[in-house]
Structure 1
Amino acid sequence: MQKSILVNKFLAFLTLLLVVSVHPIHAQVTEDFFTSGNLKLDQKDYKGAIRDYTKAVLTEPNNPDIYFNRAYAKSMLADYVGAVQDYSKAIAIFPNMPNAYYNRGIEKGHMKDYKGAVQDHTTALQQDPDNADIYFSRGIAKSAMNDHAGALQDFNKTISINSETVNIYFNRGIEKAYLKDYQGAILDFDKAINDDNNNADIYFNRAIAKNGLKDYSGAITDFNKALSIQPNNADLYFNRGVTKSYLNDQAAAIKDYTKAIELNPNTQNAYFNRGIENGRLKDYRGALLDYNRAIERDPSNADIYFNRGIVKNYLSDKQGALQDFNKAIALNPNTQNAYFNRGILRRELNDYPGAILDYTKAIEQDGTNADIYFNRGLAKSYSLNHAAAVQDFNKAIEMSPSNADLYLSRGVSKSAIKDYAGAVKDFSKSIELNPNTQNAYFNRGIAKSFLNDHASAIKDFDQAILQAPTYADIYVSRAVSKTALHDTTGAIQDYSKSLELNPQNANAFFNRGLGKANTKDYTGAIQDFNKGIALNPNNAELFFNRGIIKNQQKDLYGALADFDKAVAINANLQNLLFNRGLLKVTLKDYAAAMNDFNRAIQQNPSDADIYYNRGLLRALLKQNSLAIVDYNKSIELNASNANAFVSRGILKAQIRDFQSAIKDFNRAIEMDKSNAEAYFQRGLAKFNLIDKTGACVDLALARDLGHPDAAAQMEKRCKP
């Protein structure tokens, strides 16, 4: 979590130089108006002065002094644009006028045209190189442009010419602080305090510099002194709160932030920083309220959204946290922590592709953090990309070779890619580093079971049960090995023990349901899924898998209801939208099916099957050109799908591109010589190319392979 420190920069008053002498004049009336204007200027009657100078200009339009003094009067009325225009007119008449450039530079500074101000001050210095005030003013303009090195040079020059320039040491100290020369800044602030020991701004900025040197106690002393001078200065309380936070005095920091807010509810970052301290004290709801207020005042601050996302995650508002991380990244794409934390959150939300993208972005910004590689490996593992996960775990282990969890996780992924021997080695290393890791024994047992070393696997499960006798999943896994050793009774006992220990375990019903489904006990599987759903109605996988079984049993509307429920819970569940789209095609709800295929492609843009099935739907809807585009994409992603070539060939034949269609049918037959549809369609295409012999050969092959329409076509077209 980041904090912001407000540096209160005090800019010395820049004196505008006033010309009271005149150039030789050509008419007495001009001198009278000019003199009258000067008198009114002395009396601070700026509007009256401007009127008189304007009359003087009418009779002597080429007198630069009149424009110069009128510009000064306009500046006193905050008409900076008008002042710049008059100084420019004076310069046009008499270019060798350093004070005009100097004053025009000041006016440009008022207008935030700092680049123009620097240019004018530079020209003034060319004409008057020993003028300390011009160097000082140019330094202030450079500072406003964040050219702190340039500002420091100008302030140094100011001091070399006139060390008595008002506020020069104070302003130079600020520039040194910006450049992280905190010790030099403190020395300058010390000199400034010698000249003015009752100036709260100097103590304030010296405290900031002391913070830079981690002299937090000294900084607090200066903040206290400044507050004794300005007891109602919200910025002082805010910055003292920051310093107390550095000292880990959260309660005192919160008190100061609260006082700052009381004095000025718009104090920059006060709510934000108080939210940080509330979070550190685990008052997450208080922190959330503060971050909400901070965002109201500064809706473009990425750090606030990031920190609010952290708090929402602590409060189990996962979606709210995700939205805040999204906003933080949109505002600042270089926020590594936001990518890392969003990756963790996306992994928790089962958005593994999104999590991987986030971890990758975080690694691009810092490739030396083992935790990021570890978490990306987990996300890849959960998304079943275990080979890539192993690579990430390898990288993390290089950086942190004594972390038992890394070996455990790598072992899990090695098991998933069927490197069971490698997995056993990793689990053994994890056990060596941490003998009390129950998951290591558990997972090593699973790996051994895949190596058909079920007797040894059971020993590991036994050890895992000794460490965690109430962990139901171990009994389930041991049951699998007992089944492999034909200990059916023992297996049943373990399944029963699992449910006895945790009858509320929805996952146990889910996995048993999958097992029953694999044995084609669909009725029993649905019963288990029903029980799982009763226990956890927010588990999308339960609804999804129950829907699949209902679909297999031709309970189409029951399947659709389950798919709809799964989508409502987690629309990002892999293959969910695709399967619902297939079902909607069967139900002839083509518009809804198309929407599901479109969404599925957005989630999985590299899934050839989705493009293929969307192509079939588009062909059904007579959207042939779009269907061909989908078939092309499907083939690009997976060139081994013979049916995609057949389907594309059919559409090409419909647009009478028979040669290209035959090429597609040829490709399909090369991949699948028993594809009756490919022979049948190729035969029809050959008829259109007047290749009756070849066509009839293909139809005969299609007939022999069981194509229902081939015989009729032969009867119709292949008679001698």
Structure 2
Amino acid sequence: MANALKDQGNKAFQAKDYDKAIDLFSQAIALDPNNFVLFSNRSAAKAGKRQYSAALVDAEQCIKINPAWSKGYARKGAALHGQRRYDDAVAAYETGLKLEDSPALRKGLQEVKDAKASDERGDGADALGLGKMFGDPNLIGKLAANPRTAKHLVDPGFVEQLRMLQRNPSLAQGALNDPRMIDVLGALMGIDMQGFSREEGSDELPPGYQKAEPEPTPAPKPTSPPPQPAASSSKAREPPKSEDVKMADPEEDDEDAKTRKEAEAEKKLGAEAYKAKKLDEAAVHFQKAWDIWPQDITFLTNLAAAYFEQGEYDKCIEACDKAVDEGRSLRADYKLVAKALGRTGNAYAKKGDLPTAIKFYNKSLTEHRTPDVLAKLREAERTQAEAARLEYIDPEKAAQAREEGNALFHKGDFAGAVKAYTEAIKRAPTDPRGYNNRANAYTKLVALPEALKDTDEAIKVDPTFVKAYVRKSHVLFAMKDFTKAIEAIQRAADVDTEKKHDREIREQMTRCEMEMYNQRAGESEEETLQRAMRDPEIASIMGDPIMQSILQQAQGDPAALQDHMKNPAVRNNIMKLINAGIIKTR
């Protein structure tokens, strides 16, 4: 339930429905109050609502539950950043970086340092949120689509001023001295910054909007009604007539829009060539699109895709690197940057450079988490781990480690022996001796479940390794599971065709039988059946219709049981029933 609520909360967070996300994470926390990830997620949602104090409380709780998780310090740093506690935020991020060199932590730390420097300079762009608005790569397009701001774009100087703000948003506050920026802010914020509405079809500019200086003087503050914005004051100068302003169609006069259309046409031609597997032609069109309009990094990511399909992985990486660098300067959508980084990872994976591929997959996921990149990361990690495992195999070094383990075992250093035998297993994973020896050391440490797992692994590696069955019987004997112990030693006898371990097997068989007899002394048939049926395996055998038929036949004709014992599967089941005491033998 908690995980389901967490997933729903994550979806709400991605949709920027922070209230819903907070509610869902809170419900999940009520069910699982020790889940530090839930507190981290709720902290992020509260920060999204700018509830930085509450976000800090959740971040602190996340760290309290798991102080070794670096992301908790990222949440704390973000909350402190929102409160303008820059030095504390820096300390939080730096603590997290000591635990993990995370790109997210490094990015957050740099943002705090930049914000602190910005405040010290007094530019205030971060405080007003202007930097984010003016840094929008689609700024010009949005303004061209708005009737109130489209007319301003006929002035090349004003367009260049907007371009400058895109490149350096920290200059945004100073730019507000230009009255045209009031219209720009209104368009970007979706509100009427002039505080009034004009009649439909009017070409007049709002009161207070003129080229002359000085700025209009606001009216004295009345007691009632509430004060009006200075721009609509009765003392504001008369606006210029409509003929003073050139009202032009931005579609015709905006050269940028025309250039962008030309680039989009080239992109379309490239996409068509790509689908037709004309990859050389596609690459030419995508490159031309970027050359015409170097403002959209999808041209570069598409170019990288064409190179990738051609097997030109170095060119693909070069195009992706350029897309990332240009995307940073253009403040492109983080999803596009993530795609470029993911494609770089794909190219390195194809080149066989898995460590670098993993590095770029992680960078991509830091920008934007997608299932396909995550799956590729996991696959690359598995492939790398398997390659490392195979590279580590060395039978000679395995023999040395095993001998070291034997020496430590004889000295009574069983923990040291386990470590040495583990090294032997890594060096020679298909040699059953390492598992069997480690099982013996685990037995001495009374770590019987681990010892049993090792005997099973030794048998899995080599089903003919007699010593593994003998060791398994000894482990089960120590666990007082005498029925399973006698089954294991019987299996050892079956495998020991050359009778090399006959004496050891017979001695263990006798020990098991004696203990099993003592355990069941005075037990009635009903008690024997009840005890045996508590074993799921015995219950399954007794419920098998074929075995029921065989047992019924054996009651009337005991000799028939010998014929059925010729079938290995039936023989195995019958031996289990004998060992459990259900079938009596004389």
TM over 0.5: no
Indicate the structure whose relative CO is greater, using CA pairs within 8 Å and at least 6 residues apart. Answer: 2
Based on CA coordinates, which of the two structures has the bigger radius of gyration?
Answer: 1
Task: Sort the TM-score into its range (normalised by shorter chain).
Answer: under 0.3
Q: Normalization by structure 1: what TM-score? A: 0.23
